[in-house]
A and B are shown apart, each in its own frame.
Chain A
Amino acid sequence: MVGETSSRVASVGGAMSAPDPVVRARNIVKSFGATRAVRGVSLDIPAGAIVGLVGENGAGKSTLARVIAGVHAPDEGDVSIAGRVRHLRDPHEGLKAGVSLMAQEISLVPEATAEENVLLGNLPRRGPFLDRGAMRRHYRELAELTQFDIDPDAPVSRLRVADQQKVEIMRALSQEALLVVMDEPSAALTVDQVERLHHSIREMSRRGTAVLLISHFLEEVLELTSHVAIMRDGELVRQGPTAEETVETLVAAMVGKALATEYHERKEQATGPVRLSVRGLSRPGVLRDVSLDVRSGEILGLAGLIGAGRTEIARCIYGADPRSAGEVTVDGVAANASHPAEAIAAGIFMVPESRKEQGLIAGSSITDNVTLATLGAYSRGGWLDRGAMDARARRLAEEVDLRFQSVSQHVGTLSGGNQQKLLFARAREVQPRVLIVDEPTRGVDIAAKRAIHAKLAELAAEGMAILFISSEIEEILGVCSRVLVIHRGQVHGEFRAPYRQQDVIAAFFGQHLAAI
């Protein structure tokens, strides 16, 4: 029975699992640079089981899944498939060993047909030529089995996402995969498409293929899986039969450490007049009827899962993306920008989410980067007053505590934290009434992070209205006295300090916990 003596690894299914798991990951450790994404996780997946893997942003779920599928080689630990330890070097080897990965981004050949994609790994041949007849027969068999109705000759690039996923499922079946890893398969689907996806996941399981399902939709996990594993901060919190879990127990397990003391909790709510007001902001397929107010002196947090629509809200307000409906006002004056230049003129400025791609001009000097949004101020009849630009840049750089040698230094040579400070110097230069900051502390060290928080508090104290986006829940709850949780492009909940962290996290996943 289950009395396997040597097994120090907790089997996911406990007493219910078959003695030999089809995939067994042991003590997996995986780091990216200084970030330890997965810290010694062991996980067993019984043959034919549907196993859920849940956790907050950055808990390490996708990394673990990618290690299992051979996308990343683990730093420590190993993965055995069907009883043999495998050292997979790429997803192709994973496929050959029997593990198929359906990633967040589709991994099909876009210009090839559905049929070709399904059979790509093992195309039937007759001599040196493709056996088209055998291909079609094989495809029809799979189509009948799954009851998927996809034109075999349709190029995958022209299929909808839901149909592309079906092609991936058929491919996994055609390769007789032992395990299919699905990373957020239902994130891009409509309700009825999700139902069909669930049907095919059950069908795969019935035919003996195990499924590892990573999902942000807790109800989906509860409904579909037989076992569930919960991760937090790169470690496995718990694994066990799904029947023993509820939304509340899952959320409780996902909640991280208690609010770190490094944040002085701001309990008082801002009482200044409303500076930024957004009403009914919509963008088809992205945002629906988003309304919010930010007061003078307030730092309002926008929290939620990656891809929930926080950045999209910011970009729509800032005029960087088009909107289909919605009114924006600053101090009661209409500020419906259709270009960032108009937003800046209306008193709104945004520090975008990725410094390198959207914020900085790496090959240009500190001066040029600081003054980028305010060139007009240094114009004397179209001529640049370079002396004034340099002087101003030097003053602002010192003000935000930038570590630099000279203002003519290229910003590509600065560290991440200093680059972020430079963007604050630019914001200072613009002097907006409303400042939007999107993930300003991602990838910066703790000292720079503190400096950025202090800078935000200082700007707010001067009367600026700040909209602050962060994926790190401790940070956003620590910095903001009020937080809106965005879920699937909508405002899903409003929370005020003091917070119960589990309530906020439940809202991330579209849930409302019953008040105790």
Chain B
Amino acid sequence: MIERLRSYGIVAVFCVLFLLLAITSRSFFSFANAANIMDQSAILLIFAATTTILIVAGVFDLSIAAVATASAILTVIAVNVLGPVAGVLAGIAFGALLGLVTGLAITATGVNSFIGTLAASFTYRGLGLILASGGLVTIESQAAAEALQRISVGTYLGLKGIVWIALAFVLVMEVLLAFTIFGRMVYAVGGNRRAAFLAGIRTKRVLVACYTLSGLGAGVAGVLYVAQYGSGATNAYSDTFAFTAIAATVVGGVSIFGGSGSVWRGSLGILTFALIGNGLNLLGVDTTYQLTILGLLIFLAVAADQVFRRSERV
């Protein structure tokens, strides 16, 4: 009973919140508003998907926002040199490469992932500054910029391109974690790294693959920034994105200790945050208070989880 409550508590919270808003606010229950929520959440859905995989594996990646920023800048440079298609691919590959480097460095040295990726985050932000020569880089070809913008901001079946791309990315990550051999290994490494090692799983390779995926996701986020704005800036994504992704994952019910959870939970966490923000807006709550309220709600969710955990042990 308690187990089920803990597992599906977030689903209940989401539904209750949804109904509450639908009843109290006339403008909430409309396709336009839903599309708006999805649009605002698209990038965070990508970040939360890879963050979930890493937390399931028992590690954190605080560098994703910095990687995404560096990728955005590299994408612009690459598009200017190689054209839009090769440029976009280069941007994504660059993100994955940075993730790979982080993963290799952390697994080779055994540095704690929290500190290791925090250091990586400074490093990659600095790298972005160097690539951008300290400022803003812009796509030179008007045609390329417009093509990218058409794909990302143009609407298909009522939703913007970035929303479809984000949903596709989340789906791929969900499948990867839930239905593949790699996914089982991620759960095993996060659940008990020593047991996984002694069962013959190459735990370090699994972790490096996780960091690389995280970088890949950040690369996609970087490309999407460029596609929307036609430029890459050194402040494209603030580190708040990384923290929000972690918070949403935990609120979604993914264990912070690793070994359990699903990608959809991270997504649901993000959408819950969006609902709260959207609801507070529609209900006319002053934006000054919104962040405080959100913070308290996150704490409440995690505290409730902790209490359930404790009663489970007895």
Contacts and interface: CB of A to CB of B under 8 A. Distances in A.
B161 interface: no
A403 B37 CA distance: 49
Interface stretch (B96-104, B194-202, B207-215, B266-274): B194-202
B260 interface: yes
B179 to A, nearest CB: 6
B192 interface: yes
A363 B201 CA distance: 17
B180 A373 contact: no
A40 to B, nearest CB: 33
Contacts, number: 78
Nearest to A318: B198
B194 to A, nearest CB: 5
Contact of A379 (B181, B191, B194, B201): B181
Interface string A387-411: 0000000000000000000000000
A359 B187 CA distance: 15
B259 A340 contact: no
A365 B124 CA distance: 39
B188 interface: yes
Contacts of A368: 184, 187-188
Interface size bracket, B side = 20 to 34
B200 A364 contact: no
B195 A359 contact: yes
Contact of B198 (A340, A375, A383): A340
Interface string B220-263: 00000000000000000000000000000000000100011000
A360 interface: yes
A368 B260 CA distance: 12
A192 interface: no
A320 B179 contact: no
A320 B192 CA distance: 15
Nearest to A344: B200
A508 B293 CA distance: 65
A222 interface: no
B185 interface: yes
Interface string A315-331: 00010100000000000
A358 interface: yes
Interface size bracket, A side = 20 to 34
B182 interface: yes
Contacts of B202: 339, 341
B56 to A, nearest CB: 11
Interface string A367-382: 0100011011011001
Contact of A352 (B184, B191, B198, B259): B198
B259 A364 contact: yes
Interface in B145-188: 179-185, 187-188
A344 B187 CA distance: 21
A383 B195 contact: no
Contact of B259 (A341, A358, A361, A384): A361
A180 interface: no
A375 B194 contact: no
Interface of A: 318, 320, 339-341, 343-344, 350, 352, 357-364, 368, 372-373, 375-376, 378-379, 382-384, 386, 426
Interface of B: 179-185, 187-188, 191-192, 194-202, 255, 259-260
12 contacts: A340-B197, A340-B199, A341-B201, A362-B192, A364-B191, A372-B201, A373-B199, A373-B201, A375-B181, A375-B184, A382-B180, A382-B181
Q: Which 8 A-B pairs have the closest CB atoms?
A: A361-B191, A341-B200, A373-B199, A344-B200, A372-B199, A340-B200, A361-B192, A363-B259
Given A352-B195, A372-B196, 15 more contacts: A320-B197, A320-B198, A340-B199, A358-B194, A361-B187, A361-B195, A362-B191, A363-B255, A364-B191, A368-B184, A372-B195, A372-B201, A373-B201, A378-B181, A426-B199
